[in-house]
Each structure stands twice: as C-alpha cells, then as structure tokens.
Amino acid sequence: MGINGNLKDISLADLFQIHCMDPRFAKMTILHGDETAYIYFANKQVVHAELGGNVGEEVVYELLSWNEGTFDVENDIVIPQKSINRMWSGLLLEGVRRLEEVETQKRVNDQSHGIMEENKMSQKFDEILSSLAGEVSGYTASALVGIDGINLASHTLGVLDPENVSAQITTLFRLVDGSVDKLGAGVLEDNLLTTEKGYILMRFLPGKEYFLAIATTRKEGNLGNLRLMSKMYTEQLSKAMPH
Amino acid sequence: MTKLEQIIQQFKAEIGADFISTDVVGMDGMSIAGGSADPNFSASDAAARFAEIMKLAVKVSNKINSGKVDDNLVTTNKNYIISRFLGDSTYYWVVVVTNNATLGTLRMLMNEYAPQLIGAIPHVADLPTIEQVLEKPIEPKIEPEKVKPVKDRRSFWEDQKK
C-alpha cells in the first residue's frame, strides 16, 4: 500500500530520502496545478522522472522547486524506462545548488529593481523641485527634507547651501511643531520665517515625516504666491512618495 | 492702565472677533503686557514658547547668513501665530488670531502698531538684546564641595576613656 499527502506538509526532498531507503519499485504521481509529474524509484534510487514531454534529471531539479501540490505513491509497479543514472543524494545536492542559485539571482534582481526605483523617485523629486523653481517669484532654493534634517532632494540657484539650510530649519520647524502641539493651537500647516534677506517657508507633507522648504528673496518674493505654491507642490511631492 | 496696555487694547479692538491672544514679551519669555481672550489659550505659555522659537530663528538666520529676523508666522488649521521683534530685539510681540482673520490685514496692523509699542515699552538701559543673549556663554557656578575633616578614631571605647 502506498502513501499520499500534500507537499505543504512534506517536501519532495524528504520524500526522496524516505523512498530511497526502500528497495521496492514505486511510482510517485505529483499534481501541481495543471501539471502532473511522475517519479520512479527502484533499488533505493530515483531512476526515472517525467513531466510533460520531458524526462530525466532536469525534471527532478524542476520538481524540487515545487512547494505546493499533492502526491500519491504506488508500490510494486513496472518501471517504464531508466532516464536517471545519478545517485539520489547527488541529485538532491545538485537540485539544492540550483535552487540557491535561482534565489540568489532573484535577490540580485530585486535589489537592482529597488535601486532603479529609488533613482526614479529621486529623479521625480528633482523634476518637481525644478518645476517649483519656475513658479515661485524670487525663488532661491527648495528642498524636500526628512524630519531628521536629511535632504531627500534639493534645488538651488546657487546662493544657499541646501544641506546646511535644511539641517538648520529642521530644528526650528520641529520646535514650532512641538510648541503648537503643547499650546493646543491646532495642527501645524506651515511656518514662514521672514528675515532681512528673504522668506523661508516650511510645510509638512501628509504624515509629517517630510517637509518642503522654499526660500525666496525678500525683494522679489511674494507671500501669497509662496504659500499657494507650497500647498500645490507638497501635494505633488506626496503623490510621488512611495507608499 | 499703562500706555502699553492702552495700545494693546486698541490693537485688539481693531482685530475684532478673530483675536485670541497677544503679548509683548522679553527674551526671557516673560510677558510685560497683554493677555488672552480665550480661556483655553495660555498667553504665558505662548510667550515662553515663542521666546525660544524667536531665539532659535535668530540662530538659524545667522547660520545661513540670512540677516536679521523680522518675524515668524505659524499657520495651523485653527490659528495664525505671528511673532516679531520690537526695536532692538530686546522684546518680541506675539499675536494669535483665528485663521478666519485676514492675514494681510493682520500684518499691516502689526506694522502700524509695532512703532507705537516700541515707543511705549518702559526703557531699561541694561536689558540685553537677542544678540547679547545668544552670545553670552553659560558660566556654571558650582563651588567645590567642602569636605569635613574626619577625626581619626582607633576605637570608640579608647576615645571615650581619653
């Protein structure tokens, strides 16, 4: 009498080891979605494997990657042909090596994909900030800054050092946010610092993890325009953020 | 009522129903005139917190070479909070209004009233400006702990006999 079960409960590699300790001739039928595979055991070895029109070792290597499906084993059958000569332990080792190779390749591909996505996102932020520069009167610089003071993207017309400005204004913006909260004065939308030389507007993106900072000259800057543009562009930047 | 308080009352009247709070505050965070019209809004807390914000704003502006700080405007979903330096930056003025107020009008009114407030602030010659407050190093005044001399005692009973 044979056995049957599900590959979720026991792996094919384990089934191989069990059946390769039994000298009887056996046929294992594996159902995996629409596919059906057959593996034949004889004299404590895997001697034949079939999947679709394919036979031999390559079929075993493919079957080892199956984690789902059902199996059924019949004993004392006739072996139709011998397509595998390698020892069962050698088959398993080669199968595991190939699986690891596939996994490694997949990881490398995922990483490259991640880097590409990051570059695309960064490029998108740069494009949005460049577009903002054209719409704000008296524009000198802008930056998308994390609440830790690190820039995600920045754009400057060369007057200000965005890294330095971002680090400085983050401290101020955080203090303002904390004070507004403690005073029960509502939810902070933006903060505008007016100095002798210019305006610096800071506005949170939804979630308060990042904020947009825009600097303009005092002479050419227009407060209404600056506040309107900051609202519009924080929305755009928020949409470009990965969620 | 002092002249300063009279000017603040006039300013409150001009703002109308949108007024919440205003204070003229020293850089130590203590208000010298003003108050809140909203019992839920603490004018003294606002005065202290915005003193810190104004100090930091000056530091930030200095670091990025942006010149003297004129004012700082905070917009929340409920309020506008404007704080601006008065005169030589010894004091600042903070105004809190609902966000139904017209921001342009508020700024214009503040420009109009600021010189009057400066003129009405009692002059104290030795009060430090914001620049002096920021430049003053913190000098810890910790005196070394006095150690009491311990009398050498070999044995309690022997000491008693002596």
The predicted complex's ipTM stands at: 0.76
**Cα(A127)–Cα(B69) distance, rounded to whole angstroms?**
31
**Integer angstrom CA distances of residue B83 from A4, A131, A175:** 79, 32, 14
Residue B147 lies in a domain: no
Residue B96 lies in a domain: yes
C-alpha atoms less than 13 angstroms from C-alpha of A64 in its C-beta half-sphere: 21
Per residue in A98-142, pLDDT (tens digit) is 888 888 888 888 887 777 777 788 889 999 999 999 999 999 999
Residue A25 has pLDDT above 50, yes or no: yes
In this predicted structure, what is the pLDDT of residue A114?
73
Residue B146 lies in a domain: no
Residue B142 lies in a domain: no
CATH of the domain at B76: 3.30.450.30
Q: Are the Cβ atoms of B73 and A194 closer than 8 angstroms?
A: yes
Question: Which residues, including other chains, have CB under 8 Å from residue A218's CB and lie 6 or more apart?
Answer: A138, A194, A195, A196, A197, A198, A199
Which chain B residue shows the shortest CA-CA distance from A174? B53
In this predicted structure, what is the pLDDT of residue B96?
95
Cβ proximity of B73 and A194 under 8 Å: yes
Question: Average pLDDT for residues A84-98, to the nearest whole number?
Answer: 89
Cβ proximity of B47 and B94 under 8 Å: yes
In this predicted structure, what is the pLDDT of residue A162?
78
In this predicted structure, what is the pLDDT of residue A123?
86
Domains: count for chain B: 1
Q: Are the Cβ atoms of A191 and B73 closer than 8 angstroms?
A: yes
Residues on chain B touching A198 (C-beta within 8 angstroms): 66
Question: Average pLDDT for residues A166-185, to the nearest whole number?
Answer: 92
In this predicted structure, what is the pLDDT of residue A204?
94
- State the residue range of the domain holding B30: 3-135
pLDDT band of residue A69 (cuts 50, 70, 90) is very high
Residue B104 lies in a domain: yes
Residue B101 lies in a domain: yes
Residue B56 lies in a domain: yes
Shortest alpha-carbon distance between residue A203 and chain B (Å): 10
Which chain B residue shows the shortest CA-CA distance from A192? B73
Residues on chain A touching B69 (C-beta within 8 angstroms): 193-196
Which chain B residue shows the shortest CA-CA distance from A193? B72
In this predicted structure, what is the pLDDT of residue A49?
94
**Cα(A218)–Cα(A21) distance, rounded to whole angstroms?**
86
Segments of chain B with pLDDT less than 50: 138, 140
In this predicted structure, what is the pLDDT of residue B2?
85
A168, A172, A186 ranked by CB distance to B78: nearest: A186
Residue B154 lies in a domain: no
